[in-house]
Amino acid sequence: MSQPAPRNPNLLLTLSGVLLLLAGAAAGWAFERSRSGGGDQAQFEARVRGYLLAHPEVLAEAADAYRKQSESKQVAKATDKLEQPFPGAVLGNPQGKLVLVEFTDFACTYCRASVADVEAMIAANPDLKVVIRELPIIAPTSPDAARWGLAAAEQGKYPAFHKAMFAAGRTDMASIEGAARSAGLNLERARAFAASPAVTAELASNLELARSLGINGTPSWVAGEQMATGALGKADLGKLIAQARGR
Estimate the share of the chain in helix, then strand, then coil, as percent rounded to the nearest 5. 60, 10, 30
Residues 48 and 106 in one domain: no
Query: Residues 66-85, buried b or exposed e (16+ Cβ, 10 A)?
Result: bbeebbeebbeebeeebeeb
Element (H, E) at 95: none
Residue 3 binned pLDDT confidence (cut-offs 50, 70, 90): very low
User: Do residues 7 and 215 lie in contact, with contact meaning Cβ atoms separated by under 8 Å?
Assistant: yes
Listed in sequence order, the residues at least 6 apart from 172 whose beta carbon sits closer than 8 Å to its beta carbon are: 141
CA distances 137 to 28, 77, 232, Å, are 45, 24, 20
pLDDT digits (tens, 9 = 90+) for 11-33: 444 545 545 555 555 555 555 55
Q: What is the pLDDT of residue 225?
A: 85
Are 170 and 106 contained in the same domain?
Answer: yes
pTM of the model: 0.73
Structurally, the chain folds into a number of domains equal to 2
Domain endpoint, select from 47, 75, 103: 75
Please check whether residues 63 and 122 belong to one and the same domain.
no
Q: Are residues 56 and 177 in the same domain?
A: no
User: What confidence score (pLDDT) does residue 12 get?
Assistant: 46
pLDDT value at residue 68: 54
Tell me the residue ranges of DSSP E strands in the chain: 90-92, 98-104, 128-134, 220-223, 226-229
* 97 and 137 part of one domain: yes
Supply the mean pLDDT for the chain.
Answer: 83
**Is 80 a domain residue?**
no
> Highest-confidence range of 33-42, 100-109, 223-232, by mean pLDDT?
100-109
Predicted confidence (pLDDT) at residue 71 exceeds the cutoff of 90: no
| Burial classification of residue 204, based on how many CB atoms lie within 10 Å of its CB (0-12 exposed, 13-18 middle, 19 or more buried) | exposed
Per-residue model confidence (pLDDT) at position 91: 98
Residue 122 maps to which CATH number? Answer: 3.40.30.10
The mean pLDDT value for 96-107 works out to 97
Residues 240 and 134 in one domain: yes
- The boundaries of the domain holding residue 125 are 90-245
Residue 27 lies in a domain: yes
